[in-house]
Structure 1
Amino acid sequence: MTQFKYEVTMSCGGCSGAVKKALTNYAGVDSFDVNLETQLVTVESSTLTETQILEVIQGTGKKAKVAEN
C-alpha cells in the first residue's frame, strides 16, 4: 500500500466534507485522512496512482496539489 499526501485548500467543514465524500465513493482508496486545520489530505491505496487521486480531489472543485515532503 502506498501513501500519498496532498495540500488542499479547504475553508470550512463543507469543503472537507466534499473531499471526504469523493474519496469514500472512489474505488481503490483503502483509507484516507482529511485535516481541515492543516489543509492536508493523506490517502492510502494499493491500486491508484498519485495523479488519479489528485484528479478525484480536484474534481470536488478544491484547489489541490501534491504535498512536498
Structure 2
Amino acid sequence: MTTRHEFFVDMTCEGCSGADTRVLNKLGGVQFEIDLPNKKVFIESDKDTDVLPETLKKTGKAANYIGPK
C-alpha cells in the first residue's frame, strides 16, 4: 500500500530541487512532487519511512519528515 509522505527540505533553488529529483529517481518505485516555494517534497511510496529522509539527505540538504499527508 502506498502512502503519501510530506517532507520539509531546505531547498533554495532549482538546483536543489533537481538534486532531490535525481536521488528520488534512483530510489525507484516512488512518485513525488516538489513544491520549491514552500520547501516541501511529497512522496508516494510503500517504502519504509526511514529510507525516504535518508535518501533526501544525500543531497546535502536538511530534510525533516512532517508526516503522512
Q: TM-score under structure 1 normalisation? A: 0.88
Q: Which has the higher strand share?
A: 2
**Kindly, what percent of the aligned residue pairs are identical?**
33
Distance 2:8 2:57 in 1: 11
* Count of residues paired in the alignment: 67
Greater relative contact order (CA < 8 Å, ≥ 6 in sequence)? 2
Distance 1:8 1:41 in 2: 7
Structure 2 stretches of 5 or more lacking a match? none
- Per-residue CA shift, 1:38-64, capped at 9, x if unaligned? 100000012x11110000000110111
Output the aligned Cα RMSD.
Answer: 1.3
> In the alignment, what sits opposite 2:56?
57
Distance 1:19 1:63 in 2: 11
Structure 1 stretches of 5 or more lacking a match? none
